[in-house]
Amino acid sequence: MSVIYTPKGKAREYSPYACNIYMGCNHGCKYCYGPGISRKTKEQFLIIELRRNFLHNFELDCKKIYNLQSQVLFCFMTDPYNSLENEMELTRESLKIALRYKIPISILTKSNLVLRDIDIIKQFKSNISIGMTLTCDNEKDSKEWEPEAATPGQRIEVLKKFHDAGVKTWASFEPVILPEQSLSMMVKAINYVDLFKVGKINNYEGLDKKIDWNDFLIKSVEYLRSKNKDFYIKHDLRQFTKGYKLYGNELNMDEFINKWE
């Protein structure tokens, strides 16, 4: 059974390929789309489940796509460093397999557990990137929205440690819950992030209808341009440009995909 797949629709903006190492996630984020997509209640989705024969199937897939010239994302429908990973180490073993078969990897997490695997991650050299979802800029709001995820300070520290170790880093600003806090996190992360992906929040209790997205977009773009940072504006946020011009790789996610070198 294949476990590496091609995301469709909006998910394609994350990566050309993805792999969900676990089913479910215990971070408990209020805005999580996972329960709806997997047809589970929020309570059911909090229970992390193992996928049958996952490592075997993952290695079979990697053999088929040896030396892939396009990255695989860990993960789209779960956090690869959820609480069960501390015990099972499926993500760690998956990294070893991907390294053996020269599969470029992009990781997206909200957990500082990813630092445990820095020894393997460094072996990928330029063929991996470590991403953190950055939302709230203080622990109180973070615990309200993402109760079991790492604190904002911990996430910045993760990015700093990987950046200082010479590992490519990226930050996902999606969802944007409180625009001023997202902008604040950009400032805090600016010296430790190589690529910024900026989006918005969608369809969460009407919150997206109360935000001036054009204002947030312009402030984000102007700041990141001023710091000469690579960034990509996601499609949902681009709808609010109102004539504001975006150029080149600001619109092309594929320019930032890891390819085996």
Determine the residue type at 205: E
Quick check: is 38 in a domain?
yes
Quick check: is 125 in a domain?
yes
Whether residue 154 contacts residue 193, with contact meaning beta carbons closer than 8 Å, is answered with no
pTM: 0.94
Confidence of residue 197 (pLDDT cuts 50, 70, 90): very high
Quick check: is 195 in a domain?
yes
Question: How does 27-60 read in b/e, with b if 16+ C-beta sit within 10 Å?
Answer: bbbebbbbbeeeeeeeeebbebeebeebeebbbe
What is the per-residue pLDDT for 260? Answer: 78
Quick check: is 261 in a domain?
no
Whether residue 217 contacts residue 233, with contact meaning beta carbons closer than 8 Å, is answered with yes
Quick check: is 238 in a domain?
yes
What is the per-residue pLDDT for 249? Answer: 85
The Cα 141–Cα 217 span in angstroms is 22
Query: Could you tell me the CATH number of the domain that includes residue 237?
Result: 3.80.30.30
Our count of domains for the chain comes to 1
Query: Rounded to whole angstroms, what are the CA distances from 133 to 30, 39, 151, 234, 239?
Result: 14, 24, 11, 14, 22
Quick check: is 104 in a domain?
yes
What is the per-residue pLDDT for 16? Answer: 93
Q: Which domain holds residue 108?
A: 4-256
Pairing type for strands 22-23 and 49-50 reads: antiparallel
The Cα 135–Cα 258 span in angstroms is 24
3-state secondary structure of 256: helix
